[in-house]
Structure 1
Amino acid sequence: MKLRMFLCAALVLGVAPCVAAQRDTLRIGTPRDSVRIGAPADSGRARRDSVRIRIPGDVRPLDTTPWIPGPGNEPLADSIFDAPGTRELVNRVIRSGSTVPAALDDYRADMRAAIYLSLASDTTDAAELPVTVDEVAGAVRWNESGAVEQTISGHRIKLLAPTPYTIGSLLEAPWIIPHLYGNTITVFSLAAAPNARAPRAQAIHPFSFRGIDFYHYETGDTVRVTTQEGRLTLVPVHVRPRGDALERAGTHRVVAGTFFVDVDRAAIARARFGFVESSGRFVVTETGLFFELESALVEGQYWLPVRQRREIQIGSPLLGGTAAVRLVTVLSGFDLNTGWKPEASGSRLVWRLEDGAFAGWRGVGDETDATDVADFADLRAQVRPPESTRGVQAALRYEQSGHLFRYNRVEGPFLGLGTVITPGDPERRDWNVYAHAGYAFAEGVPRGELSFRWHPGQGTVPLGPRYSAVVGGYRRLRDMTSFRPPLQWELGYALTAALAGYDVRDYYDALGAEAFATRRRDRWTARLGGRWERHDSVTLNTDSYVFGTAGEFPSVAAAEPGTHAAAEAMLRYARGTGSFGVGSGVIAQLTADQGFGDFGITRAQALLSVRLPSKYVTAIGRADAGTIAGRAPAQFLYRFGGIEGLRGYERNEFGGTTAALGRARLLLHLPPYSSEPLFRAGVFLFPPLRPAFVLSGDAGWSTINDESAPALAKLGARETDGWLTSYGAGLSLFEDAVSIEYVWPGDGGKGRWYTGFVAYF
């Protein structure tokens, strides 16, 4: 409950205004690694075409007329292009696409968009967590003068916790990028100026006359695509800034990414890139501005956007991960040259809400699992400019919030320093060395780690590295949580301990080394490796928190000292955040390890976490099971009870070497069923109530082998002696963000009330 409260308070009330203050964000869209050309807007993701060839030195019969920039017609340096054919292709696009086609005067298109504020925790095994979800319906108009009018006719929302605003309600200006013709990439600010015109940020277009002075160009494998317009040949051109391009650009931005060029029309069909950020050796908070743009060939002549994704990412250990503001927009039903003339110059966002705008749409947030901050892992490596293309560079960075700061009753306040060493050239950042070291002030113990990571292709492969490996040594404070939730936010737990005096987890000290290899493919992740650790027990070292003496700092259960060595394996399927969140999600995971040394145990564990929302009924469930063969030390035993499962019983009352725990929650939604805000006042709104009658149930079972029974008794836990159950009923509001429930233990004992934010799974 408290974890959910701090999560919502920190993200919704903290991150949202922070992001809103940076509303001059930028972006352009396309989906992950697909090429969708001329497909209907609702046709789903298309696959890459089957034919791919390496582009030769003279790409097709290209225009071979040389084009030399500069007042003195100086020859171009060979470092600008990777091949003569690349130079010829880029020159053709520059001449052809530097202006909007003369026959295109204006267009109108239907619009549907989803707008997210999401958090990707740095300590979670699940996908990012959407905090707010807005969906809007409407239309977009564009005119050759550059004017854009974006009309919103429908707006509905889903919230992790009730708040008086969302990212969608804060928008004041158009976010669509109308095309990729011209000499600059123009991106509208998300906030309007006092004169109601949207301020604009401009980047130097790589395929403009000026772009040659700033970028390096390299072609990739040709993609051939069959569409309604016939067979098209697309050539990806990888663009990187050269030398001091960032400094020479002045007030303009420079980009790094990939542009797909239609060879026949010498026009850009698709773009995926980020805006290059200034580098620094002291980096606590990193921002990223990323863009994807998918276009369709409209009437066989004009490449116009059909799907855009515009995203700003703010990553920091101060947030405990990465916060993302994401706008995914789909355009369809283009009408060209309608004769539309804007009432005034510039661009504007018009709110004109109408009934029936969402007819035929699916539920709000049903597709929150389709995008993730990790989609831009490759671009994050590219947009960090090198201090030097040779050697390595080091910067002060943190991979987890706990490496900078954490607070618990064992360590008290922990403060640390972290650094990352990477190759200077962004194209060769296939490895890095990460180190952090800190000190636990109440415990008087130093902890940290040093690791080498190998991740081939991170700087060039969309969706990040498919393979990765890590080798390192560490000293960590581990907790004994048995059935760990797939969605975790460790910074929230540290703040709960420091600010609310609540820390009930048991801990032990682990000094060791590890080596693991990981393979990712789509939603699947496999991990294989091993570790060696020296375990030792820890004790309660502080009973204080910021506001006095903590009421929820119990003594720490003793761990058994000894040496643990093990081979470990994990297989996980993840779509969304599982049972916790606002959208749909499924997470299934299997883990197993074989121990050696002092603890020669064999363990296997399984997890299934599911959330299935709909307009009238939402089903939520989680099941955990595990077994241990051999004499298990206290730190490896399964424990549950209370908020850990089996509500209605005491915390960690039950345990054993074999255990199973199931939790289910059924929401029967009550009228009114609408997801539209109840009323609005400027950027503020009152969220829909979304009331629901709640039915919940838990079931748990555990047993202990004879060798491990003394360790369980030492922890103060016991076997369940068969299946135990608890069940509850109540009322929830705001999409199950808050609830009031009464829970009964199945053995007939006295029940108890649970009221407040829901943190059930």
Structure 2
Amino acid sequence: MGMLAALAAAVLAAAPARAQEPAPEAWNSGRAMELVGRARDRRQQTQADTGMVDYQADARGYIYFYLDRRDTGERTLVKTDQVALEVLWAAPNLAKQRIIGLRDRRDLPTNIQYHQDHLSVVQDNFGDLIRLGDGDEVRDVLHPAAGAAPSIYDYRLADSSSIRLPGVAEPVRVYKLEVRPRDPSVPALVGAVYVDRRAGDIVRMDFTFTPSSYVDRQLDFINIRMENGLYKGRFWLPIQQQVEIRRQLPELGLPAGGMIRGTMRISNYRFNQGLSPSLFRGRRVVSVPQAQREAFAFEEGIDAELREAGLSPATELGEVREQAAELLGRRLLSGLPGSRVDLAGATRTLRYNRAEGLALSAGYRVTPAERTSLALRAGIATATMRPFAEAEAWRGALGDRIGIGGYFRQPRDVGYAPVISGAMNSLSALLAGSDYSDPYYASGGELRAERPLGGWTASAAVRVEKHEQARLASDFSVFGGSFRPVPRIAEGTLTGGTLSLRREAPELVARGLSLGVTVDGGVLDTDFYQKDAAFVRPRVDAAYTLRHPRNGELLLEASTGAALGGVPLQAEWRIGGRGTVPGYEFRGYGGDVYGFGRATFSWNVAHPFIRGRVFGAAGWTGDEFDHDLRRRVVVDGGQAGTLDLIPERGGMASVGAGVGLFYDIIRVDLARGMGRYGRWEVIVEANPTFWDFL
């Protein structure tokens, strides 16, 4: 246990490694203002340069709409759009774009409609005034290279370096100019402008906006990256543009928000084509007829980009927002209110189970600064009329943060892992008397930390908490089902912690491997046994996904773990039934070692209404280590009689098939256990993608 505590302390104290950069100059230095002037002059000179009378180019883009999670980092794709455009320009400043190809695919039901500028290219680095969403998102924010910009912005020469641009073989030497508003309360952008060292042209821009810039009250943030390439030796023209737009209800702190992420790539420039002025009449962005758009022969599949990179925080522009926050002294950049009623998830607000009855709670979250949050939640369990509460504070961003938390009578589960969504468990318990949780209560506090480690995330927690027995407090169900007894635990005070190292595959990649190694343990000061229980539990989890480009997905999952030392009852591994090896008594197998694996193949039968699935699972539990704690059978009249604490040891295997209904949101499976204690089992559940907020 000493080694576990030492490792936890090391992770808590560690700071993420960052590259050392030269110290930036003072704000508004002579060199910085000279570079701003050169960039402004080059923008005007390019329009008047007779070496480029006009151009025509091709643009291809992907626009994704998905749900992102505040607390877990998971992404759930809702809709994908693929677009093809003809991009036209003529001196002095005529521009036209034609959408010649457009198709979409829905992974969840939605009626979202995009503004036209979400489906098109920014041809002039936005001009002097920046507008987004046709002015409904951001309206008339001054460009940092506009003539009047020095009266609004501060500039700082951060460093001189080389950057690589998409599709450009050689690195480009640039100056990085950091930009911030003199008054953070006014509409303005915040970020960095990369200026060509040779001529002063703008090569790249990374920026977000101040909160007052957002016209739409539902906007959390907008992040933008615009990259230009050099043509004909002196013209810097768009080659790639990325935008992220996140929305959420301003009144409620929901666990998920809606994100639009678009990437546009521009290529195949043809210069001085003698384009007719008549081509530029009318609106700047037009579309060919729908049938022609849908018949366009795209060079890549609609999922080509996702199959390669997936959806994950690593593919987003989080560093743009982080750098902007540093420039404003960690001032809050979100367009949403800094304090809101917190709906962290359906089950945390309203749930029903046999130990608490109907449990109700309310929460409140405050975000006083960027990357800092405080949250409080309290409620009452109506069956026991006992309160429960929790409070937490975090500093940093998901995957790179440190926090502290306290909690009182928070329900914990005896099992290996959650095997059902909270909402479905509440329905199952309320309607049929089937509660698939085995709770006990924990009260105490802990320190937590997360740090990036290469492509992995390391996390640690140290805690002191009191464990309290839960009891069968409510036996009501609508259709009169009979609840299982609540398993006995060893009550006492635990001093311990958890260390984990995880690597998650991005969502929707063609081949993805996720790995996790976790070690938890501690010392339980208890009167349940004749001595304190000191234990440690190592565990390894793995998942591999293989997606066919047309249809079909293979998911392989495996998990194994051991429990060493004086293992209290609540720390024994328990598997069997739904969530592990279906077709057996729920958590009917257990011991100090376990292992199980599951293979699932699914495919679209009639998208979006039916998705088929077949699966097989196998597992094993046993006692491989000598324990010095006395096992026993407990008789507790308050828990409906005798409760055997020693589950079955041995192996299990099962097979099954099922369907996913309406975009695979609801799943219905039929499984059959193949061993001595095997049985038929019907499982109705929501897609695990949604479990974290159900």
TM-score (norm 1): 0.70
- Corresponding residue of 2:283: 345
User: Are the equivalent residues in 1 in contact too, given 2:120–2:285 (CA < 8 A)?
Assistant: no
- Corresponding residue of 1:484: 417
User: Are the equivalent residues in 1 in contact too, given 2:208–2:320 (CA < 8 A)?
Assistant: no
- Corresponding residue of 2:318: 376
Residue 111 of structure 1 deviates from its aligned partner by: 3.0
Structure 1 541/328 Cα, relative in aligned 2: closer, same or farther at 3 Å? Answer: farther
Q: What amino acid is the match of 1:439?
A: G
- Does 1:305 pair with 2:226? no
- Corresponding residue of 2:615: 696
Q: What amino acid is the match of 1:86?
A: A
- Does 1:514 pair with 2:446? yes
- Does 1:401 pair with 2:401? no
2: CA distance between counterparts of 1:695 and 1:54? 59
Aligned mate of 2:160, from 222, 243, 247: 222
- Does 1:723 pair with 2:651? yes
Aligned mate of 1:211, from 139, 142, 149: 149
User: What per-residue deviation string (whole Å, max 9, x for no partner) do you get for residues 399-454 of structure 1?
Assistant: 7715983434327343334344646xx6xx7xx46241423252444444455544
- Corresponding residue of 1:639: 574
Residue 549 of structure 1 deviates from its aligned partner by: 8.2
Residue 331 of structure 1 deviates from its aligned partner by: 2.4
1: CA distance between counterparts of 2:159 and 2:421? 41
1: CA distance between counterparts of 2:80 and 2:567? 49
Structure 1 residue matching 2:205: 3-state secondary structure: strand
User: Are the equivalent residues in 2 in contact too, given 1:449–1:473 (CA < 8 A)?
Assistant: yes
Residue 94 of structure 1 deviates from its aligned partner by: 2.3
Aligned mate of 2:506, from 559, 571, 576: 576
User: Are the equivalent residues in 2 in contact too, given 1:123–1:400 (CA < 8 A)?
Assistant: no
- Does 1:591 pair with 2:518? yes
- Does 1:177 pair with 2:122? yes
State how 1:389-468 maps to structure 2 within 5 Å. 395-397=338-340, 401=344, 405-409=349-353, 410=356, 412-420=358-366, 422=368, 432=372, 434-440=374-380, 442=382, 443-451=384-392, 453-455=394-396, 467-468=400-401
State how 1:495-534 maps to structure 2 within 5 Å. 504-534=436-466
- Does 1:265 pair with 2:199? yes
2: CA distance between counterparts of 1:495 and 1:99? 67
2: CA distance between counterparts of 1:543 and 1:377? 51
Residue 275 of structure 1 deviates from its aligned partner by: 2.1
User: Are the equivalent residues in 2 in contact too, given 1:142–1:178 (CA < 8 A)?
Assistant: no
User: Are the equivalent residues in 2 in contact too, given 1:639–1:717 (CA < 8 A)?
Assistant: no
- Corresponding residue of 1:186: 131
Structure 2 residue matching 1:258: 3-state secondary structure: strand
Q: What amino acid is the match of 1:744?
A: R
User: What per-residue deviation string (whole Å, max 9, x for no partner) do you get for residues 364-413 of structure 1?
Assistant: 531463542874266279479989989xxx95257771598343432734
Structure 1 418/612 Cα, relative in aligned 2: closer, same or farther at 3 Å? Answer: same
Structure 2 residue matching 1:206: 3-state secondary structure: coil
User: Are the equivalent residues in 2 in contact too, given 1:653–1:716 (CA < 8 A)?
Assistant: no
- Corresponding residue of 2:601: 666
User: What per-residue deviation string (whole Å, max 9, x for no partner) do you get for residues 26-52 of structure 1?
Assistant: xxxxxxxxxxxxxxxxxxxxxx9x997
Structure 2 residue matching 1:644: 3-state secondary structure: coil
2: CA distance between counterparts of 1:647 and 1:256? 53
Structure 1 130/499 Cα, relative in aligned 2: closer, same or farther at 3 Å? Answer: farther
- Corresponding residue of 1:42: none
User: Are the equivalent residues in 2 in contact too, given 1:185–1:203 (CA < 8 A)?
Assistant: yes
Structure 1 residue matching 2:415: 3-state secondary structure: coil
- Corresponding residue of 2:220: 287
TM-score (norm 2): 0.77
- Does 1:314 pair with 2:258? no
Structure 1 residue matching 2:307: 3-state secondary structure: coil
Identity across the alignment (%): 21
1: CA distance between counterparts of 2:385 and 2:661? 46
Bigger relative contact order (CA 8 A; separation at least 6): 1
State how 1:102-251 maps to structure 2 within 5 Å. 102-103=48-49, 104=52, 106-124=54-72, 127-144=73-90, 145=93, 147-157=95-105, 159=107, 161=108, 163=109, 165=110, 167=112, 174-180=119-125, 182-189=127-134, 201-225=139-163, 232-243=172-183, 245-246=185-186
Residue 591 of structure 1 deviates from its aligned partner by: 0.8
- Corresponding residue of 1:29: none
Residue 589 of structure 1 deviates from its aligned partner by: 0.6
User: Are the equivalent residues in 1 in contact too, given 2:25–2:156 (CA < 8 A)?
Assistant: no
Residue 703 of structure 1 deviates from its aligned partner by: 1.9
Structure 1 380/544 Cα, relative in aligned 2: closer, same or farther at 3 Å? Answer: farther
Structure 2 residue matching 1:243: 3-state secondary structure: coil
User: Are the equivalent residues in 1 in contact too, given 2:421–2:685 (CA < 8 A)?
Assistant: no
2: CA distance between counterparts of 1:167 and 1:583? 26
Residue 363 of structure 1 deviates from its aligned partner by: 4.3
Structure 1 233/745 Cα, relative in aligned 2: closer, same or farther at 3 Å? Answer: same
Aligned mate of 1:751, from 657, 663, 680: 680
Q: CA RMSD in A?
A: 4.5
2: CA distance between counterparts of 1:498 and 1:108? 64
User: What per-residue deviation string (whole Å, max 9, x for no partner) do you get for residues 675-733 of structure 1?
Assistant: xxxxxxxxxxxx95697764311111112466475479987676454321101245668
- Does 1:255 pair with 2:186? no
User: Are the equivalent residues in 2 in contact too, given 1:433–1:450 (CA < 8 A)?
Assistant: no
Structure 1 701/641 Cα, relative in aligned 2: closer, same or farther at 3 Å? Answer: same
Q: What amino acid is the match of 1:108?
A: Q
Residue 534 of structure 1 deviates from its aligned partner by: 1.1
- Does 1:327 pair with 2:262? yes
User: Are the equivalent residues in 2 in contact too, given 1:116–1:167 (CA < 8 A)?
Assistant: no
User: Are the equivalent residues in 2 in contact too, given 1:173–1:190 (CA < 8 A)?
Assistant: no
- Does 1:622 pair with 2:552? no
Structure 2 residue matching 1:353: 3-state secondary structure: helix
- Corresponding residue of 2:10: none
Structure 1 441/88 Cα, relative in aligned 2: closer, same or farther at 3 Å? Answer: same
1: CA distance between counterparts of 2:449 and 2:195? 37
Structure 1 235/207 Cα, relative in aligned 2: closer, same or farther at 3 Å? Answer: same
User: What per-residue deviation string (whole Å, max 9, x for no partner) do you get for residues 134-176 of structure 1?
Assistant: 14142231435554424142525251x4x3x464789797343
User: Are the equivalent residues in 1 in contact too, given 2:115–2:134 (CA < 8 A)?
Assistant: no
2: CA distance between counterparts of 1:544 and 1:254? 58
Structure 1 93/421 Cα, relative in aligned 2: closer, same or farther at 3 Å? Answer: same
Residue 634 of structure 1 deviates from its aligned partner by: 3.1
- Corresponding residue of 2:547: 613
User: What per-residue deviation string (whole Å, max 9, x for no partner) do you get for residues 479-517 of structure 1?
Assistant: 31634369x986887799899998532322222222233
User: Are the equivalent residues in 1 in contact too, given 2:206–2:320 (CA < 8 A)?
Assistant: no
Total equivalences in the alignment: 630
> Larger % of strand: which?
2
1: CA distance between counterparts of 2:544 and 2:245? 29
Structure 2 residue matching 1:366: 3-state secondary structure: helix
Q: What amino acid is the match of 2:64?
A: Y
State how 1:13-28 maps to structure 2 within 5 Å. none
2: CA distance between counterparts of 1:474 and 1:389? 29
2: CA distance between counterparts of 1:202 and 1:357? 37
Structure 2 residue matching 1:93: 3-state secondary structure: helix
Q: What amino acid is the match of 1:183?
A: D
